[in-house]
Amino acid sequence: MPNSPIKLPNTFNPETNMIARPEGDKIYHAPRAAFELAYSLLSNGHPDDIAQAEKTIEAALAGQETRPGDPHFGNFLWEAEDEAVEDLNAVQFCIFQLAPTMIQYGNLLSQDLQEKCQASIRLGLEEIARINVHPRYTNIVIKDITNTILGGEYLQDEAF
């Protein structure tokens, strides 16, 4: 076990459990950055880090569109402050962080949060499958392939 918890970045906002990004007179909190922070916390493995990772993952999951019938069902807000999904590729960036986190460290999380992450990854992969990206958009295509393989591995679902 590590001797001490990791030092949270100066931009960490304890009220939102996410990293804050100031832009002009506004402050934004990106779910994708929160998932990245959670990975770092879990990889350190200190009990305080695991507790913080749980809060951070919960905060990031709140940015997923979960209303059935919404045209972006399963996607994520680019920033927690957005009112609706604006960037269709946000799901790629979020699942790109969340799937490996769950494969490597998901067992450190509460059963309830593991189930929420499993549902989130499934919704995200279903949304990814609906998005038709041209192969020349290489970074998104690579994320699509990676997300589908790793997410399918995590879910133990050969369909992905």
Under DSSP, the state recorded for 7 is P
| Cα Rg of the chain, angstroms | 15
| For residue 106, pLDDT beyond 80 | yes
Predicted local distance difference test score (pLDDT) of residue 25: 94
Cα 5 vs. chain centroid, distance in angstroms? 21
Predicted local distance difference test score (pLDDT) of residue 78: 97
| For residue 2, pLDDT beyond 90 | no
Cα 92 vs. chain centroid, distance in angstroms? 9
Q: What is the pLDDT of residues 121-155, one digit of tens each?
A: 999 999 999 998 888 889 899 999 999 999 999 99
- Dihedral of CA atoms 27, 31, 32, 33 in degrees, nearest 10, equals 50
Q: What is the pLDDT of residues 10-62, one digit of tens each?
A: 999 999 999 999 999 999 999 999 999 999 999 999 999 999 999 999 999 99
Residue among 37, 6, 43 nearest 21 (CA): 37
